[in-house]
Amino acid sequence: MNMLSFLGETPTKALRKAQEECGEDAIVISTKKISDPDSKKSMYEVVVALEEDYDTNKGKKPSSFTKKIVTSNGKLKDKDFSAKVYDFKEEILKMQDAIEQVQKSIWDPKSQLYDLTIPPEFVDIYNLFESNEFDQEMTYTIMKKTIRQLPVGMKSNPHKINDFFKLILRRIIPIKNEVPLRKHQRKIMMMVGPTGVGKTTTIAKLAARYAYKLGENYKVGVVTLDSFRVGAIEQLQAYTNIMRLPLEIVKKPEDLVESLLRLKDCNYIFIDTAGSSQYDIDKIELINEFQKKVDELPIEKVLVLPANVKQSDLMDIYTNYSRLNIDYLTFTKLDETKSFGNLISFAHKTKKSITYMSIGQNVPDDLVVSNSSFLIDCFMNHACVK
């Protein structure tokens, strides 16, 4: 390789001379500030490397500022040990990192209503909220309060910052704690929600949990109102046969009372309903017709929702199903998403407590009794751990 040196009053001028004489094939080795031995002025030297057979004088006028660097070992000879070396590539990379850090720390909501700069120590948490599709207005409120209220001593400790935000999330997640029934108590739970969200599988998991897993020998019965979906009754019948549980099939609203009477000795009764689009109001109203026939009974209405949809879709489902007077929420398909902020912010906005979470298809194991710590761990790790 031939090493050539070019001088200029600025790095740009020196580099331009190198390009004019050597073309685009030259490889820039270094740029440094030196003192010109002739004029004693501060100059910038750009050193480039060329292939051995490259003719620098081919079709070009040699530059008076050009000199060949002769070395015995193939390395550049340092002529001026006091010279300051400028590594432009490194400086550019540093500038890019700084720009990215600034971009990450600027609050830029879609509504453009807010102006909030995220301190560097909160950038990782802020990005965690963004990547989890957490509601932007809630993110703004949480960040603003935390920036103002978090003690200065805690801001320098990433672990303490994480713990503080976990505490905030724990406070805003509405949870319905599971309270096992006493011997002569009875609870009726009706699962409602769109098609394909996992209502039937969730009922099978709950039935197995209360009938066998708690060790209390609870009597459990199942009722299905779903005579629309092909195979719906067969699927539930297969589960109840395996678990040796009674199953009532109800096709008309007036028959529901008699079915529940036949299950009067059961501590837990789970009612499966037909799924429908949240926009199919007629089918949702049909569930209401069944409900009105047993209006005198305390039935908990649980809206079953998939975790792998965006918050706006969750809100549409809730808005139209709320005509059934929803009491609680159950989330399914947590194993099919990496974003959990939509669940937390949705539950907080609707003020409806979460009862259970389904994390897979295995009956009865893939069911989690709601607790805020589990959901927060999913949020922090971008995955639910079975």
Residue 181 domain flag: no
Which pLDDT does position 351 carry in this prediction?
A: 94
pLDDT digits (tens, 9 = 90+) for 11-48: 888 888 888 888 776 777 777 888 766 666 778 888 88
| C-alpha pair distances (Å), 226 with each of 229, 238, 249, 355 | 7, 15, 8, 23
Q: 82: which 2 tokens? A: 């006091």
Q: pTM for this structure? A: 0.69
Say if residue 70's pLDDT is above 90.
no
Q: Tell me the per-residue pLDDT of 242-296, one tens digit each, with 9 for 90 and over.
A: 999 999 999 888 899 999 999 999 999 999 998 878 888 888 888 888 988 888 8
Most confident range, picked from 7-11, 15-19, 317-321: 317-321
CA distance 330 to 317: 13
| Final residue before a domain boundary, out of 86, 116, 138 | 86
Q: Which range has the top average pLDDT, 22-26, 124-128, 233-237, 343-347? A: 343-347
pLDDT confidence bin for 63, thresholds 50/70/90: very low
Pair (347, 250) in one structural domain: yes
Domain count of the fold of the chain: 3
The per-residue pLDDT for 61 is: 42
Residue 142 lies in a domain: yes
Q: Clarify whether residues 158 and 285 are in a common domain.
A: no
The Cα 36–Cα 98 span in angstroms is 34
| DSSP at 186 | -
The reply to whether 145 and 168 lie within a common domain is: yes
149 shares its domain with 238: no
367 plus 231 within the same structural domain: yes
* pLDDT at res. 55: 55
Cα gap 29→233, rounded to integer Å: 75
Residue 220 pairs in a beta bridge with 268
- Looking at the structure, tell me whether residues 112 and 43 fall in a common domain: no
**Domain containing 231 — which CATH number?**
3.40.50.300
Nearest to 166 by CA among 381, 347, 369: 381
| Averaged pLDDT of the chain | 82
> Residue 93: inside a domain, yes or no?
no
Same domain, 238 and 328: yes
Which of 172, 199, 225 finishes a domain? 172
Instruction: Supply the range of the domain harboring residue 151.
Output: 98-172
- Burial string for 127-157 (b: 16+ CB within 10 Å, else e) reads ebbeebbbbbebbbebbeebeeebeeeebee
Nearby residues of 276 by Cβ (< 8 Å), 6 or more positions away? 194, 195, 283, 284
Confidence grade of residue 385 (pLDDT, cut at 50, 70, 90)? confident
Task: Evaluate if residue 113 carries a pLDDT over 70.
Answer: no
Residue 179, in any domain of the structure = no
Q: Could you tell me if 228 and 360 lie in one domain?
A: yes
Last residue of a domain, one of 27, 62, 86: 86
Residues 315, 318, 321, CA angle at the centre, nearest 5°? Answer: 150
d(CA 330, CA 343): 10
Note the helical H segments in the chain.
11-22, 88-104, 123-131, 136-149, 152-155, 158-172, 199-208, 232-243, 256-262, 281-293, 311-321, 341-350, 372-381
Residue 59 confidence (pLDDT) above 60:
no
